[in-house]
Chains A and B, each alone.
Chain A
Amino acid sequence: MRSQLEGSLAVAKAVALCRPEVISAYPISPQTHIVEALSDLVRTGELAPCEYLMVESEFGAMSAAIGASAAGARAYTATASQGLLYMAEALYNASGLGLPIVMTVANRAIGAPINIWNDHSDAMSQRDCGWIQLYAESNQHAVDLHVQAFRLAEELSLPVMVCMDGFVLTHAIEPVELPTQEQVDAFLPPFDPRQVLDPDDPVTIGAMVGPEAFAEVKYLMHAKQMQALDLIPDISGSFSQAFGRTSSGLVRTYRSADADTIVVALGSVLGTIEEVVDELRGEGERVGAVGITCFRPYPLEEIRAALRGARRVIVLEKAFAVGLGGIVGQNVRLALSGHAVSVYDTVAGLGGRPITRRTLRTLIADVLEERLEPDRLAFLDLDWKLVERELQRVSADPRSGPHAENILRDIGSVAASAHGGAR
């Protein structure tokens, strides 16, 4: 049924349709509307049977989900930012134990400084924890990904996090087609746990594994996650058949087949990117876009295939590795090794700074007109004057060494340009 509703509510309804049995809820902006809506659904009986636990922290939330999942219940929770970090220990535990928990991450920046607005630094910080990571481009995509996530998690026995941009998607009211209960029931069978706590067949779960076997356990986990690269397209295909619309699984391409220049991104920014692509195509530029839906496991082959033929790849990402550079950018370069292509890493939208069509057009123009150099980390829309003033202020510090001086030199040399470059 198609309706206009807030992203959080749409996701809550989609999750409810998946018949979770235990929901553990701890509020954090911008996820609050999701857990509030689920609370209402449980109270009115629309979602039943379901135990809704109001836990004492995100660590408690993931822990309760772990316990519930191990006892054979379909478990769900949601969080963002600081909350995701607070449950970091439990994330690794859930994936290590192979429990098919589904979690919504309403992407939000991580402090300090505290910031409640959207970027990808939270999910990116946990990219290696063993969870499958899916990034929704729109609220419809988020709804569809949640339904697929439960099936994916339970078939593989691995937890899945569905990331959606905080505020940008969660609080946006968009038209969304919600599936019916019958459709979801047909698509998602009841949870049949691979291993479960049951007095009739007791087992010990969570043993201590020493040097003699730990590496094997970890390899097996890696191998299992890699299986998702085959399973996701399968499920995505089944979804299309069952629900009558495509829902990107691993990678989605937009006008990239014959493109010279391709912009790669995750999440809701792809909507803006596609509009800019259309504009530029109208002006004769051969530009395209590639959206990565499944970031972990990393669909290396699919990305390589999607970017084949491009001479320039612009990676636009909402987080970066401090002290190093782009995260998605590095991952994309892996897919491009051996190809003759220039890769431009650009960090944008940190802490919720809007990414507009204008700034995107400027970025692409800078690339096409070679005002931007490849292989140098760029920051979209950064206030270089402010940064320069600050750096000059601290440059009197005798502790500044060669790297600090390089930064200063860089700023001095390109101070006139709209974009700075920094190594």
Chain B
Amino acid sequence: MMERPFAITLDVGSSRANKTGSWRTERPVYVHRLPPCSSACPAGEDVQQWLYDAEEGDGGYERAWRRIMDDNPFPAVMGRVCYHPCETKCNRGQLDEAVGINSVERFLGDEGIARGWRVEALVPPSGKRVLVVGAGPSGLSAAYHLARLGHAVTVYDAGPRQGGMMRFGIPKYRLPRDVLDAEIERILDLGVELELDRQVASVLDDMVAGGFDAVFLAVGAHLGKRAYIPAGSAAKVLDAVSLLRSMEGEEPPQLGRRVVVYGGGNTAIDAARTAKRLGAEEAIIVYRRTRERMPAHDFEVEEALEEGVLMKWLSTITHVDGGKLVVEQMELDETGFPQPTGQLEELEADSLVLALGQETDLSFVDGVPGLEIEDGVVSVDETMMTGYPGIFAGGDMVPAERTVTVAVGHGKQAARHIDAWLRSAELTPSVERQSADFGHLNTWYYTEAPRSLRPQLEAARRQSTFEEVVGGLDESTALYEARRCLSCGNCFSCDNCYGVCPDNAVIKLGGRDEPYAFDYDYCKGCGICAAECPCGAIEMVPEEI
């Protein structure tokens, strides 16, 4: 050990005796902001969290899948039918293009099925019994969560097969039945009892008879609305809902060579595309407003057009008869409302399919004290409970946007509230998180990485078969797509903070939950870490002086 002449020569690292943390007026803290994808998901998935797992590849896929399953038992279905509001809100959309969250979810869902991943109940049996009315997305989701929470669940469905609108409303070419069956089977494997062809005439009676401690109603809106259109005796008019339902039967319905579908929603598109596959030479959608005003999602319109479906905008049907119908041209007034012009036109049509909305048969809740109905749907409070204690409802039969994802979300919410209600406990509210806005990001660090496109079936095959039109991503592409996620507001271990601190005051711990910690003994509060965090997971807060 060499001599150190007084004061001239110093030991290495002796500066650590100087705790420069005392200089600070503000300190950095790691935060977990709520990214817009997670915030937007109607099923309440923490999208960013499962993308974090998925992007690790290998074992990460199953971890990601399990995270999704904590909130949503239908990832493979979602990956095909969800309208992905997460992608609409995705912050990456402001950079280049939104992350293909939906395609990654589909990949994970398909992996789950292919590899036979299972889920278990989270707690021992509670001894409570819950009745779920309707084996559609909402009912099955509720059943799944309730079963995981230890309750004995029985599902009644009036129809011959389980699945609700997933089977009877969404065509095969959008949601192959084997995928649907596999995901429903997984729910039933948790011990959920299913009774098909079991109509509920009076919910209160069935509740008592079955000894159920609570009920979740999820019968959906399974009746097509009928509008009054003057019709001749030879007119062949049917509603889209019935048409699509009948596709699950043995005999495909006969629609003729020219089919007109009246309406502008997704059901209208499904009906038209189905008609084409059934052999119609022409399938024409007649809609009273314009394409921009169509409630149908634009990509569905695109796919329909690619398949040769024709669109007739700004038109209403005034008369229908055998072989033809009369269409009146409309024009939009200043408020965007269509007004008749008086100009009429004849259109050849062998059948007319009405896709003008759906409604519910609510007779089975007649006389339930306290239960209120308004505008054809059942009112529920913030716990998804109706006016009758212990009877909850969700899905298309309560006021909501009518999508599978919303329905699934209702099922989860209701299940959690039912669970709390059964235990006479309060549901612990989730921690409020600040939103992760685009402005919190430092986008410099993200590379140019254009979004992946999903493969599509060639046009010829689309028109003649019910094979799935939109394919999935292969593994490497799904992985790439998951890695496009900016991880808004949540650390993904990029090491930036660890690297950019001039005072070496960030400690790298490794690990997922707390990958780094600030060394407040030395942190001077300069804020470079917060400024250079790509995803905005660091916030500067005033120091308590």
Q: Is A203 an interface residue (CB 8 A)?
A: yes
Assess the A98–B8 pair: CB atoms within 8 A: yes
Contact of B5 among A194, A196, A198, A201 (CB under 8 A): A194
| Binary interface encoding of chain B residues 1-24 relative to chain A, with 1 for a CB under 8 A from any of its CBs, else 0 | 111111111111000000000000
Name which residue of chain B comes closest to A206, CB basis.
B8
Q: Is A213 an interface residue (CB 8 A)?
A: yes
Complex formed: what's the CA distance from A203 to B12 in Å?
6
Complex formed: what's the CA distance from A213 to B1 in Å?
23
The 5 closest A-B pairs by CB, nearest first: A204-B10, A209-B7, A213-B7, A194-B3, A217-B7
Assess the A97–B2 pair: CB atoms within 8 A: no
Within 8 A of B (CB), among A188-243: 193-196, 198, 201-207, 209, 213-214, 216-217, 220
Assess the B6–A195 pair: CB atoms within 8 A: no
Q: Interface residue count for A (Cβ, 8 Å)? A: 22
Complex formed: what's the CA distance from A214 to B7 in Å?
8
Complex formed: what's the CA distance from A217 to B6 in Å?
7
Name which residue of chain B comes closest to A205, CB basis.
B9
Known: A201-B1, A205-B8. 9 other contacts (CB 8 A): A96-B8, A97-B8, A98-B8, A202-B12, A203-B10, A204-B10, A207-B9, A217-B8, A220-B6
Complex formed: what's the CA distance from A290 to B437 in Å?
89
Assess the B4–A203 pair: CB atoms within 8 A: yes
Q: Write the nearest CB–CB distance from A4 to chain B, whole angstroms.
A: 44
Residue pairs across A and B with Cβ atoms less than 8 A apart, 10 shown, are A157-B5, A195-B4, A196-B2, A203-B10, A204-B9, A205-B9, A207-B10, A213-B6, A213-B7, A220-B6
Name which residue of chain B comes closest to A203, CB basis.
B9
Name which residue of chain B comes closest to A220, CB basis.
B6
Q: Write the nearest CB–CB distance from B466 to chain A, whole angstroms.
A: 73
Contacts of A205 in B (CB 8 A): 8-9
Assess the A204–B12 pair: CB atoms within 8 A: yes
Within 8 A of B (CB), among A397-412: none
Complex formed: what's the CA distance from A216 to B11 in Å?
19
Assess the A216–B7 pair: CB atoms within 8 A: yes
Q: Write the nearest CB–CB distance from A365 to chain B, whole angstroms.
A: 52
Assess the B2–A194 pair: CB atoms within 8 A: yes
Assess the A207–B11 pair: CB atoms within 8 A: no
Q: Write the nearest CB–CB distance from B393 to chain A, whole angstroms.
A: 73
The number of chain B residues touching the other chain, given as a range, is 10 to 19
Assess the A195–B9 pair: CB atoms within 8 A: yes
Assess the B5–A98 pair: CB atoms within 8 A: yes
Interface of A is mostly: loop
Contacts of B11 in A (CB 8 A): 203-204
Complex formed: what's the CA distance from A213 to B3 in Å?
18
Complex formed: what's the CA distance from A213 to B8 in Å?
10
Q: Write the nearest CB–CB distance from B1 to chain A, whole angstroms.
A: 7
Name which residue of chain B comes closest to A97, CB basis.
B8
| Binary interface encoding of chain B residues 61-100 relative to chain A, with 1 for a CB under 8 A from any of its CBs, else 0 | 0000000000000000000000000000000000000000
Q: Write the nearest CB–CB distance from A212 to chain B, whole angstroms.
A: 9
Contacts of A217 in B (CB 8 A): 6-8
Contacts of A206 in B (CB 8 A): 8
Assess the B12–A207 pair: CB atoms within 8 A: no
Name which residue of chain B comes closest to A98, CB basis.
B5
Within 8 A of B (CB), among A276-327: none
Q: Write the nearest CB–CB distance from B388 to chain A, whole angstroms.
A: 78
Q: Write the nearest CB–CB distance from A314 to chain B, whole angstroms.
A: 42
Contacts of B4 in A (CB 8 A): 195, 203
Complex formed: what's the CA distance from A369 to B168 in Å?
139
Contacts of A204 in B (CB 8 A): 9-12
Q: Write the nearest CB–CB distance from A206 to chain B, whole angstroms.
A: 7
Contacts of A193 in B (CB 8 A): 2
Q: Write the nearest CB–CB distance from B110 to chain A, whole angstroms.
A: 56
Complex formed: what's the CA distance from A195 to B9 in Å?
8
| Binary interface encoding of chain A residues 153-176 relative to chain B, with 1 for a CB under 8 A from any of its CBs, else 0 | 000010000000000000000000
Assess the A201–B8 pair: CB atoms within 8 A: no
| Binary interface encoding of chain B residues 518-532 relative to chain A, with 1 for a CB under 8 A from any of its CBs, else 0 | 000000000000000
Contacts of B12 in A (CB 8 A): 202-204
Complex formed: what's the CA distance from A23 to B1 in Å?
28
Name which residue of chain A comes closest to B1, CB basis.
A201
Contact of B8 among A196, A198, A207 (CB under 8 A): A207
Among B3, B5, B8, B9, find the residue whose CB has the most chain A CB atoms closer than 10 A: B8
Within 8 A of B (CB), among A133-184: 157
Among B5, B10, B11, find the residue whose CB has the most chain A CB atoms closer than 10 A: B5
Contact of A216 among B3, B6, B10 (CB under 8 A): B6
Q: Write the nearest CB–CB distance from B242 to chain A, whole angstroms.
A: 84
Assess the B1–A207 pair: CB atoms within 8 A: no
Contacts of B8 in A (CB 8 A): 96-98, 205-207, 209, 217
Complex formed: what's the CA distance from A209 to B6 in Å?
10
Q: Write the nearest CB–CB distance from B144 to chain A, whole angstroms.
A: 62
Contacts of B6 in A (CB 8 A): 213, 216-217, 220
Assess the A207–B7 pair: CB atoms within 8 A: yes
Contacts of A213 in B (CB 8 A): 6-7
Name which residue of chain B comes closest to A213, CB basis.
B7
Q: Write the nearest CB–CB distance from B7 to chain A, whole angstroms.
A: 5
Complex formed: what's the CA distance from A203 to B6 in Å?
13
Name which residue of chain A comes closest to B11, CB basis.
A203
